[in-house]
Structures are given as C-alpha cells and as structure tokens.
Structure 1
Amino acid sequence: MPESRENRRGRQHRPTVLLRLREAAARVDAATPPRRDRAVDALRALAILGVVLGHWLVTALVADGGALRAASPLGSMSWLAPVSWMFQTLAVFFMVGGHVATKSLASVRARGGTYGTWLSARMSRLFVPVAAVLTVWAVAAAGLLLGGASFVTVHTVVKLALSPLWFLLVFAVLTAATPWLVRLNPVWPLAVVLHVDLVRFGLGGPSWLGWVNLAAGWLVPYTVGAAWTRGELESPRAGWTLLLGGAAVTAALVGWAGYPASMVGVPGAAVSNLDPPTLAAVAFGLAQCGLALLLRERLRRAMRRPPLWAAVAALNLSAMTVFLWHQTAMMATTATGLFAGRLPGLHTLPDGLDWVAWRLLWVPVFAAVLGVCWAAFHSYERGPRQRGGRASRVVRVHRGRTGPADVKAARNA
C-alpha cells in the first residue's frame, strides 16, 4: 500500500526538527566560554527542579465545602518522608548562590567596578520578576473575592502561590551582605542554629526565637559556597566530610532528639523543619552540599554533551520565572479543574496511594501550564541588558552562526 503524502511529510519533518535542535544545542555549546564551570549551572538547575517537583508532589489543595484548604500527603502517609529528602534542595541553591555571588563580586572589583553597581544588577534580576507575579496575584485575589470565592479559598491559594517569596527575601539579604560574608566560616552560623534549637527545644524557650534561624540556617550553605570560592572545598575529603557528617547528625536528631523526619513543613504538625529552619534541616542541607561537591566532576563531564548543556543553560536563564510561577501553575490547574468537579489527585484528600498515582499524572499538566506562564512572563527576567548590548550580538562559531538566544544562554546561564 503506497505511503500517504501526510505520512511522508511527517517522516521528513521529524528528522529536520531533531537536526535543528541538535544544531541549536551545538551553537550554545560552542558559544560557551571555555573557562565556565558548567557544574555550577547544573547544580542550580537540579536545585530548582527539586523545589518545583517537591512542591507539586507534597502540596495538595482539598475541595471541602465549597472552599479549598491546604493539605499534604506527608500528613497521613508519613512513610513518604524520603520524598522530601530528595526534593528539598534549597541548601544546594544557597550554596551555589554563595559561590556565584562571592566569585562575581571579586571579578567586578578586579575590573574596577563597585559594590553598588554589582548589587543593583543582582537585585534587579531578583525583584523585577517579583513585581509581575505580585501584580497578577493582586488582581486575581480581588477578582476571586468579587466573584464570590470564600476568603479561606483566596487566602489558601494566594499564600501558596506567593510562598516562594520568603526564600527570595532571605536570599536578597544574604546577597547584599556578601562583602561581609566572603571570609565567614560556616561553623559560626551553624553554632547559632545549634544554640537557638537548644534554647527553643531543650530549655523551653519562646517559639519566636526559631526565626533567628531563618537567616542563620541559610547562611550556613551560603558560606559553604563562599568557602568553595576560596578553594577550600576542592578535595573530595571536604565533600565526604559534609555528606557523612551531615547525614549522621540528621539521623541522630530525627532518631533520638524527636525532630520530624520530613524536611518540609506538614500542615498541622507541631514542629516544622523548614518553617523556620531547624538544626536537622541545616545538617541535612550540609549533607546535600557535600553530595553536590562530590558530583561536580561528573556533572562537568555530563555537561560536555551539547543537548544536556543547552537544556541546563535554558533552565538557568529562566530560573526565576520557573521558581516564581510554578506554584501559580498548580493553583491555576486546580482552580480550573473545579469546573469539571472534584478531580482525584487534584482536589481529593491525599491519604492513599491512589492519590499519589493521580498526582503523578497531574505533574505533566502542571508543567504545561508553567510553560504558558513562562511564555507570558519570562521577558521580565531577561531585563534590559538581555534586550541589547553584548549579550545580543551575533557571534560566528566555526562555519555556522550563533543566534542571540544561543549567546544569552551560554553567557548568562
């Protein structure tokens, strides 16, 4: 039977698309400066993916009496706690942030630049995209209330959608303090976390004291990143020390000191390891940092593959957009799904393996909606320097050309 024209066109088109993708990846790879440490970008990408998938898998919105309330599968299925161990990757993000910030500040100063211009550029990259998400959710909240949605529902979805902003505030404070943190040993903020927990849990101190750890706890991996910049963590021994020491301390705190096994907050739980950070969360973060340091060389080798590197570069260019809008993607899917009724894995109580199975099926839908959000708002992350100037020049690579997007991905990932 002769092949139809449509089938022939489809068969011819697929290789063309794949060829173009390979060529684009090769251009990004060729345009990347040889001295760039691609492992840094790979670790940042893994940290962002961990946070996104973690939120999508352990955050549930239950339709209850016409309102939506937050829940978590970790509340009724505590044996799922290891899921939080895999996806609670903020410590790696802070470590990479500390490494990149201290390294870039040193580079700017070496070229005669000032702290003020360096900080202004970094704060703009952080907070310009925030303005967009705040504006959208201010309008959405007003529309929901005027449309008759209950205050409980609006409070729940807005709180979850904007919950990533606490992280940015802490990260911004640490970034601004980078000149004073360049030489700080991570042992000092770790000692603060230890003493805060001793007073809070061991001596019956006030619960508000735990919020001191909001800065001190994340300062620990941030200063680990600074130590990386100083060249103090190049030996595999440093990575193994952090990995094994952090894991042993975490196990002891969870097994004998009564700390929760989950490394993320669980609605209704008496104590959260993350809100604010506890000694267990910080020790676990150090173990993750140790593992990340040990994986650097393997990641560098993996990033020599143009397709992998192009994907990592693209994700790094959109890191803020993905981080800020991933919860909105889940909220939008959940709210829209209500028109079809109470859907399993989306509006039902997360109390069994059937919910887990359904939630895994919803993850690609969340990703697709996040793609729509990215298309609408990623321009806020690029900023004016991405729309012109050096980053948008056309650079020749061997016999081909590297387009503006390829150069941006290579230089700014």
Structure 2
Amino acid sequence: MGSRVRTLAEATPDTRDRYVDLLRVVSLGTVVLGHWLMAAVTADGVGNLLAVVPELQLLTWALQIMPVFFFVGGFSHALSYRSLRRRHPADDGVSLYAAFLRARLRRLLRPTMVFVLVWGVAALLVQLLGGGGGLTGVSLRLVTQPLWFIGIYLAMVAFTPPLLRLHERYGWGAFGALVAGAVLVDVLRFALGVPFVEFLNFAFVWLAVHQLGFLRADGRLRLPSALAATGLAGAALLVAAGPYPLSMVGMPGEKVSNMAPPTLALLCHGLWLVGAVELLRAPGARLVARPRVWRTVVAANGVAMTAFLWHLTAMLGVYGALLAAGVTLPEPASAAWWAQTPLRIAAAALLTAVLVAVFRGFEQPSPAPVRPGSGPLAALGITLCLFGVLGLSMVGFAGLLDGRTATLVAVPVSAPAAVAMALAGWWLVERSGFAVRRDEG
C-alpha cells in the first residue's frame, strides 16, 4: 500500500489541481468527525448532541461542509467529461454519456453495493434469529442514512453533461437559473403552501453548488470574498427573518429542516463555504505541494468512500461493545461525556481503519476501457440506482421482514425494493458499455 501510494504521488502531473484533492479529503473527513461527535448514545437509543445543547447548532455553519464536496465534484466532473469529449470527438453525445457514467461511477457504486449487501445479509440474519431490538435495531435504521449523499452525487453525475453544455453557453446565467429555481421553490413552499414542491430543491440547491465547480474549472470564480460575504449574509438574514432553522443539518422533530429537503438558506450556506475555501486556495495549495502531505492526501483519497460508508458502523460498534461490556454511558454533554469523547472517537477511528482494510479493495476495481456505449441503458441504470440508494437511506434495514416502508417524495418504498433497484441499476450501468466492447473485438 505504501509503495503504491508513493508511486502514485510521484507520478502526479504538475498540472493537477492538488488543492481540490485536499478539499475532497477534508470535507469527507469533517463529515465523519461530525457524525461521531454529534451522536448522543445512551442505553435507550441514539440522540443528537445538537438537540441536547442547541447552542452548538451554530457550529454547523462551519462544519456542515458537504457543499464543498459537491462543489469539488462539479470541478472534477467538468474536467472528466471534457477529457472524454477530446478523446472521442467523433462520437455522439448519447454514447459519450454512457461512457462518462461508467467512468465516474465505477469507484462509487462498487463499494456502495458491497456495503448494502453486507448490511442487508446481516440485517436478515439478525431478524431471522429474532433480534433487532435496542441498539441493534437503531443501528439497522441509522447505518444507511449517509447513503443520501451517494444518491445526490449520482444525480450530479447524471446531470453533468446537459448542465455542462448550459454552462458553456450561458456561464453564470446557468448558475443563476438554478438559484432562481431554488428561490421559487421556497416561495411556493413557505408563502403559498404548495405541497411536495419542496422536493425540487434537492435538484436546484445541490446542482447550483455543483455548477459552481464548473465555474471554477473555467477560472471564473474571481471574487471569492464577495461570494463568501453574500452567502453568509444571505443565510444569516434568512434564518433571522424567515422560517429557516439555525442548524444547517437535520434536527430530530423539527418542522422545517435546511437539509431535507434543502432550502435557500442551505444554498446561501454553500455559497459562503465555497467562497471561504477559495479564499484559502493559495495557502492550501502550498500545503499540499509538500511531498509528505501530498502522499497523505493520495492515500486518503484512495479509501475515502469506503471510510465514509463504514464510519457509522464503526461508531455504533464501539458503543455496542461498551454496552455489552457493562460500561455505563455518561449523560450526553455532561462533563464525563466530554471527557470520554476523545477515547470514543479514537476507538471509532481505529475500527473504521480495520473496516477500510477489509473493504478497500472494492473501491479500486480493475481498470476497464472507457468507451462509448448505450446511453439509454446507462440513464435507466443511474435512475434506478438513484431511487434505490435514496430509498434505502430513508427506510434503513430495520423491519426488513415486516414490510416497513418510508416515503420517498410521495412513494412508499421498502428496503427489499430499494436494494433491488440499486443492484439492478448498478448492473445496467455496467452493462451499458458491453455491446460496444464486443463490436470492437
């Protein structure tokens, strides 16, 4: 592993924007650390530290850093699709679309599907044996929640080709149209009470942040300080005067969440964060130019998705071991709880490292030729994956044998149906390039 990382690090071309890779690692690492810190676990279940200590919700304005990951995704997707177009100038957009999806999704879907299958089998065995109560039942419900991020990222990959064309034609105008869509949705939702319209902001808000990555790829984010100030002022004004909560992450029992579905306040938060990380670009680039730092970033990027998928499993495993050993968990936010926090996080990090060592090979599939293929097949595949993964993030594996469902937009979905859609979609994305490879011999 070490020699491979060193080889990859030394082979990095000078033209690569290493700061983007650093942002990818830092953003996912911050999300993982935030989940470990916010979990307020007791013998009765799992709560949220931000609900126990509401004053800490202000920290989400810095630590809810997922918009940065989606911004980096937009930058990377623009470069990847343009590179594919240059290598296959004679191919039509439909076949290039299939090639782009397969190229971008191989490292994402394979570890995700392994995670889904492992937890699905474990949940089935637990429930067949009559278990599923207490912390085990909570775990079966919670471990899939981070899959919402995978679902949103799938949508971003799927929309990259058409939105990149709009960006290349209209520039900031394409971004402005997405922002206008987010504004209209919130007006219809909060001022006029139009039902279900709020779910459109899963697209408008996150794709607007993603579109900023396109602008960065073209060197058009020239005033990051203005972007950061506008976003921060906008978020503060909306929270102070509107129906938007202070927390930029979801809170249990709240009537309005800035996250699910996303709101205009969260979009402003994303603008603030993108502007902030762009202001740090020069010192960040100098930091990651150091050979040792760059090797660390390369190593982390190689296992980042695996660590993200399994980090809640590790955290819940640590709490489960403590309860099984008869350790009394202190009251969340008490002095004893805070004193124990570094040890719990260290234990969760260690167990995550073990899980990464077991499953990291699935994040590095054998390379396959990226060639144009069946666009409709790829589009159907990614659509099924999107709904399957999002559905599973909502319903979890608890009640797997009882027909438990959760509502995805307006449609009830069960865990078996979600798993079937995700696996079928993955298979279709993989199959989308097969016919072309056979024709080419």
CA distance in 2, matches of 1:157, 1:370: 16
2:359 matched to 1:377? Answer: yes
CA distance in 2, matches of 1:106, 1:90: 25
2:344 maps to 362
CA distance in 2, matches of 1:203, 1:177: 29
1:231 maps to 219
How far 1:70 moved relative to its partner? 2.9
Of the three residues 196, 200, 222, the one matched with 1:212 is: 200
Deviations 1:29-81 (A, max 9, x none): 432211111011011111111111111111233322xxxx3310111211111
2:257 maps to 272
Deviations 1:145-189 (A, max 9, x none): 244434564552123211121111121122112111113422222
Deviations 1:130-149 (A, max 9, x none): 11101111122123324443
2:225 matched to 1:243? Answer: no
1:126 maps to 108
Tell me, yes or no, if the aligned pair for 2:314 and 2:348 is still in contact at 8 Å.
yes
Tell me, yes or no, if the aligned pair for 1:28 and 1:306 is still in contact at 8 Å.
no
Q: How does 1:11-410 map to 2 (within 5 A)?
A: 29-64=9-44, 69-112=45-88, 114-151=96-133, 153-182=135-164, 183-184=166-167, 185-206=174-195, 208-233=196-221, 235=222, 237=223, 239-344=224-329, 348-385=330-367
Tell me, yes or no, if the aligned pair for 1:129 and 1:380 is still in contact at 8 Å.
yes
Deviations 1:249-290 (A, max 9, x none): 111112222421111111122222111111111110110011
One-letter identity of the residue aligned with 2:216:
W
CA distance in 2, matches of 1:79, 1:375: 38
Q: Which has the larger radius of gyration?
A: 1
One-letter identity of the residue aligned with 2:77:
A
CA distance in 2, matches of 1:247, 1:359: 30
**TM-score when scaled to structure 1?**
0.81
CA distance in 2, matches of 1:241, 1:232: 13
CA distance in 2, matches of 1:242, 1:302: 24
One-letter identity of the residue aligned with 1:363:
I
CA distance in 1, matches of 2:306, 2:5: 22
SS of the equivalent of 2:355 reads: helix
CA 262–305 in structure 1, closer or farther in 2 if over 3 Å, else same: same
SS of the equivalent of 2:43 reads: strand
CA distance in 2, matches of 1:287, 1:61: 32
Report how many residues are paired.
355
1:406 maps to none
Tell me, yes or no, if the aligned pair for 2:5 and 2:299 is still in contact at 8 Å.
no
CA 174–25 in structure 1, closer or farther in 2 if over 3 Å, else same: closer
SS of the equivalent of 1:71 reads: strand
Please give the root-mean-square deviation of Cα atoms over the aligned residues, in Å: 2.2
Identity %: 36
CA 47–385 in structure 1, closer or farther in 2 if over 3 Å, else same: same
One-letter identity of the residue aligned with 2:25:
A
SS of the equivalent of 1:61 reads: strand
Deviations 1:355-385 (A, max 9, x none): 3332233111110000011000000000012
Give the unaligned 5+ runs of structure 2. 90-95, 168-173, 369-441
CA distance in 2, matches of 1:86, 1:271: 20
Tell me, yes or no, if the aligned pair for 2:9 and 2:298 is still in contact at 8 Å.
no
CA 380–25 in structure 1, closer or farther in 2 if over 3 Å, else same: closer
Tell me, yes or no, if the aligned pair for 1:70 and 1:267 is still in contact at 8 Å.
no
CA distance in 1, matches of 2:236, 2:335: 26
SS of the equivalent of 1:177 reads: helix
One-letter identity of the residue aligned with 1:328:
T
One-letter identity of the residue aligned with 2:14:
P
**TM-score when scaled to structure 2?**
0.76
CA 76–200 in structure 1, closer or farther in 2 if over 3 Å, else same: same
Q: Higher mean Cα deviation, 90-99 or 141-150?
A: 141-150
CA distance in 1, matches of 2:154, 2:323: 37
